[in-house]
Structure formats: structure tokens, C-alpha cells
Amino acid sequence: MKKTIVILFTVFTVNSSMADISALPTYEQAQKLVAAAWKSPPRSIDVTYYLAVKDKKKTEEHFRKIYKEHFDNEYGPDEELSADMLERKEGKIQENVDYGLAQQKKREKIKYRIRYDGKSCRVDRVYGSPEKILDANTPLETTLIETPAPTVGLELYRYSHNNKSATVEKRERSPITVINNQLNSIVMIPNAVILQMKLGTRKDDLVTEPYDVNETKIKQLCSGTLENFTVKIRPDENEPNAKDRIEISLYLDDKIEAFTSLMICAKDDYSKVYYFEDLNSITNKSPIFTRTCSDFDTQGIPHHVTQIQNNGKGDVILHEIYRIENVRVNISIPKEVFEFNPPEDYVVTDYRLPETERQAVKIEGLKRQLKGKDRGRKFQAFLKLREYFKDNPSEMREIAASMLEDEHSGVRRLAFHTLIQVLKDDLEELKRIAVIMQDDEDRLVRKMAARVLQRIESEDEKP
């Protein structure tokens, strides 16, 4: 009986050990893993994709609490307000709550076009909404361009096409690195840097990348003797002839598992990753991040990607769905794509210039907008110019006079009203203008002119 127990124990131990050894990568599998980890990222890329975002939503109660506190400070407590003031306050609160919910809804769908040539990057995008369907014909509304500055650092160009405005500023760090990293993480194998660190040697003793492949470490990986790092490769349970399941574990010096991830890759090309997950480093049970990819093209790029971020307890924090429409890699992108060249009617704010020069450039842009066709934009430009020249009546007089024959009656009213204020001490000139405006086709403008003429006539009659 004792002998039988010993034999059974021995058989169990050997089988367990054999199962572990069988999961170690063969040299051929290790070479495929190395090829994927050292695969060069695209030199350039032009991609259009759609992103649908489902995250933890802020509720109406969340927004109401914020704005209730704000308007309590502005209006006072409810019990101290009259019925009219209480109704007005509640209206303001609800207006802001509705705005917050609408903005949150707006960011659920985004269309991107990204162009990158290795040095410069351009990101164009537009937000969707329940009323705004995003498709190939949807125009992009904002542009962000990052390019090396002539001296050091970066230059950042922003366009808001709806507002017809543009800004230029200098930056030391990249604000669109996150977008680039996100894109690279989709077209490249996950954890490539970790694999290069563990299976390579730094070139020329550099502190950062790049790494040279280390043949000795690859052999240690295949034998299970590579220090603090293991890779186990098994056929995928669902498609064993087409895909491999790759588990990567990184250990601390005291053999505590610090990092574990799983990839399901094409058996013939490990850079084609169908599924990826990072496990919770504490429990190694619930994944904290998963990515599922499908519909790969001939370039090895997936056209459908789903990413889910969890809190480690199984609760979804962020759910993103990417649908890649067009993608081209390693192409020539014209340099004009990354240059600052806003349309002539855009208002430009150049933060590289001293404040006085910056303001002069902006004023010229506003004056150009006065010559456009958009009534709302002309109205806003006129109001901004009035603010700029509030202490310069002669300049404001010239601007207002140039708008008296504008095709939009609202603009003519504003221009005439401005001249009435500016010319309060020059009644002769004001009378000349009022005589002209009393024949205007707009009833309100004619009424304004009649009042001005009546007031001047009363002044003339005074002894």
C-alpha cells in the first residue's frame, strides 16, 4: 500500500512537470514572437476611423448637484427667494443640466482622420450626436497639427472650422502623444517594449530603446531559464490550427508575479493579435484591460477593434469600439498637410508673438470676417472689435461706417447704434448719417434714424 502511494505521487509530479514544459515556446515560436516585437512601426500613416465610446455616465443627479450648489451661491437659498426668482433659478439649473448631458452624449461618437509622417502629426475630428450621423461625407470640424519648431521644441496649430478661428503656439511636449500611442498600440503587437527589454540588449548602452535581439536570452526563454520572465504558448482552444494562445509573465526578484498578459495571435504571424488582455496584477483573475480585433487587411491592420477597461473587480469603466474605414501606411504625405495655412477669413491668434503683435493679427482676422457672408460670424466679429476699440472711437467709427450698407439688417442696426454712441459729440456728422439711414429698408433702422434726427432738431432749437 505504501509503495502504491509512492508510485502515484511520482506519476502526478512528472505529469505536472511535463505539462509545464510543453507550454514553453519552441525556437520557431520564439522567433515569430521576436519578429512581432521587433516589427518596425509604420514610417507614415493616413487613417480614417470612427470611435464609439461607452463609459460610466454622469447622471442627471450628478449635474444637478453641481449646478444647484453654483446657483445657490449666486441666487441664495430657495427659501429666501420669491416665486419668480425661484422659477428663474430652477430654469438656469435645468438649462445647465441639459447642456452637461448633451455634451456627454456628444462625445459618444467621434470621427477621426490622422496623418503622421514620422515627425509631424495631424489629427482632424468631428463629434457626432443622436441627430448627427457620422459617415464618409461628414466634414471634420477641428484640426490639431503638431510639427517640429524651426529651432527647438514643437509648434502646435489648432483650427476650429465652425468658428473659423486658428491658433499657433509653441510647446516643449507633445499633446497628441496619447492619440499616437493609442494608434500604434492597435497596429503593433501589445507589450512589444517589454518583450524587447527581456529578449534584447540595449544598443550602445543607451538608456532607452532601441534594443538588439539577444540570442542567448531567446534560448533561455525556450528552456524556461530566463530570469524573472516566462512565455507559455499553446494552441488556441477554439481554432487550434489557426491561432496560438500566448501567456506572458513578468516576475519580481522575489518570484512574485508582477505582470501577466494574454494574447491570441495568428499561428503564422504573431503580430496579428486577435485578442489581448492584461490581468489584474494582484489577483490575476479579472482582466483590467481587453482588446478584441477582427477584419484584418493585407497590411495586417484590424478594421474592427473593441477595447474594454475594467476596475479589476469586473466593472466596466470604459468601452471603446473602433471602426477603421481607410488606412494607408508607409506612404508619402505632402508637407503642406502639416503647415499652418488657415483660410483667409479665419481669425488667427499667434501665441508665439508678443501680445501687441498677436492682437494686431487677430484684429485683421476679425475685419476680414466682417466682409464674409455669415451674419452670425459678422455680428460676433463686430462685437469683438467694439471691445478692442472701446478707447479708440476714431477706429471704431471707421469700422461701423463700413458696415452701414451690409446686406443683413441686424448688422446695419448694430453699426448705426455704434455710430450714434461714437458721434454723440459730432452732431453734424451724425445728422448726415441719420438722413441716409432714414431710407433704409429695415423698419427698426428707419425708426432709429428718425429718433436721432428728432433729438438733433430739439438740440438745435435750444437757445
340-368 confidence digits (pLDDT tens):
999 988 988 888 888 888 788 888 888 88
- Taking every pair of C-alpha atoms in the chain, what is the biggest distance, in angstroms? 135
**Does residue 376 sit in the same domain as residue 420?**
yes
Which residue, of 311, 329, 347, is where some domain finishes?
329
By the 8 A CB rule, do 299 and 28 touch? Answer: no
**Does residue 316 sit in the same domain as residue 222?**
yes
Phi, then psi, of 122 in degrees rounded to 5: -130, 130
What's residue 281's pLDDT? Answer: 59
**Does residue 201 sit in the same domain as residue 299?**
yes
**Does residue 195 sit in the same domain as residue 306?**
yes
Residue 4 CB coordination number (10 Å): 8
Residue type, 230: T
What's residue 94's pLDDT? Answer: 86
Classify residue 55 by burial, with Cβ atoms within 10 Å: 0-12, 13-18, 19+.
middle
**Does residue 293 sit in the same domain as residue 386?**
no
What's residue 32's pLDDT? Answer: 95
Within a domain: 197: yes
**Does residue 196 sit in the same domain as residue 229?**
yes
**Does residue 100 sit in the same domain as residue 155?**
yes
Which residue, of 118, 153, 182, is where some domain finishes?
182
Within a domain: 106: yes
Within a domain: 255: yes
**Does residue 202 sit in the same domain as residue 148?**
no
**Does residue 123 sit in the same domain as residue 178?**
yes
By the 8 A CB rule, do 312 and 38 touch? Answer: no
What is the average pLDDT score of the chain? 83
| 252 has pLDDT over 80 | no
**Does residue 453 sit in the same domain as residue 378?**
yes
Percent of the chain topping pLDDT 90 = 30
Higher pLDDT, 76 or 331: 331
What's residue 279's pLDDT? Answer: 78
Within a domain: 335: no
Within a domain: 203: yes
Name the residue among 50, 52, 55 with its Cα closest to residue 310: 55
Within a domain: 340: no
Name the residue among 124, 130, 60, 125 with its Cα closest to residue 95: 60
Tally of residues, the chain: 463
Distance (Å, whole) CA 416 – CA 369: 19
The domain of 61 spans 56-182
Q: Is the dihedral of CA 437, 441, 445, 448 positive or negative?
A: positive
Within a domain: 112: yes
Q: Report yes or no on whether pTM surpasses 0.85.
A: no
| 280 has pLDDT over 70 | no
By the 8 A CB rule, do 316 and 309 touch? Answer: yes
What's residue 56's pLDDT? Answer: 57
Name the residue among 248, 285, 284, 241 with its Cα closest to residue 263: 248
Q: What is the 3-state secondary structure (H, E, C) of the chain?
A: CHHHHHHHHHHHHHHHHHHHHHCCCCHHHHHHHHHHHCCCCCCCEEEEEEEEEEECCCCHHHHHHHHHHHHHHHHCCHHHCCHHHHHHHHHHHHHHHHHHHHHHHHCCEEEEEEEECCCCEEEEEEECECCECCCCCCCCCEEEEEEECCCCCEEEEEEECCCCEEEEEEECCCCCHHHHHHHHHHHCCCCHHHHHHHHEEEHHHCCCCCEEECHHHHHHHHHCCCCCEEEEEEECCCCCCCEEEEEEEEECCCCCEEEEEEEEEECCEEEEEEEEEEECCCCCCCEEEEEEEEEECCCCCEEEEEEEEECCCCCEEEEEEEEEEEEEECCCCCHHHHCCCCCCCCEEEECCCCHHHHHHHHHHHHHHHCCCCCHHHHHHHHHHHHHHCCCCHHHHHHHHHHCCCCCCHHHHHHHHHHHHHHCCCCHHHHHHHHHHHCCCCCHHHHHHHHHHHHHHHHHHHCC
The residue assigned the cell 438656469 is 92
Please write the tens of the pLDDT for every residue from 416-463.
899 988 888 888 888 899 899 988 888 888 999 999 888 888 876 665
Number of domains in the chain: 3
Name the grid cell of 403.
458696415
**Does residue 192 sit in the same domain as residue 175?**
no
Within a domain: 202: yes
Whether the ω angle into residue 210 lies within 30 degrees of 0, i.e. cis, is: yes
Q: Which residues of 140-155 are buried (b: 16+ CB within 10 A; e: fewer)?
A: eeebbbbbeeeeeebb
Name the residue among 248, 292, 239 with its Cα closest to residue 267: 239
Confidence of residue 242 (pLDDT cuts 50, 70, 90): very high
Distance (Å, whole) CA 118 – CA 49: 20
Average pLDDT, stretch 20-33?
Answer: 87
CA distances 169 to 58, 146, 354, Å, are 33, 10, 12
**Does residue 108 sit in the same domain as residue 212?**
no
The residue assigned the cell 503622421 is 116
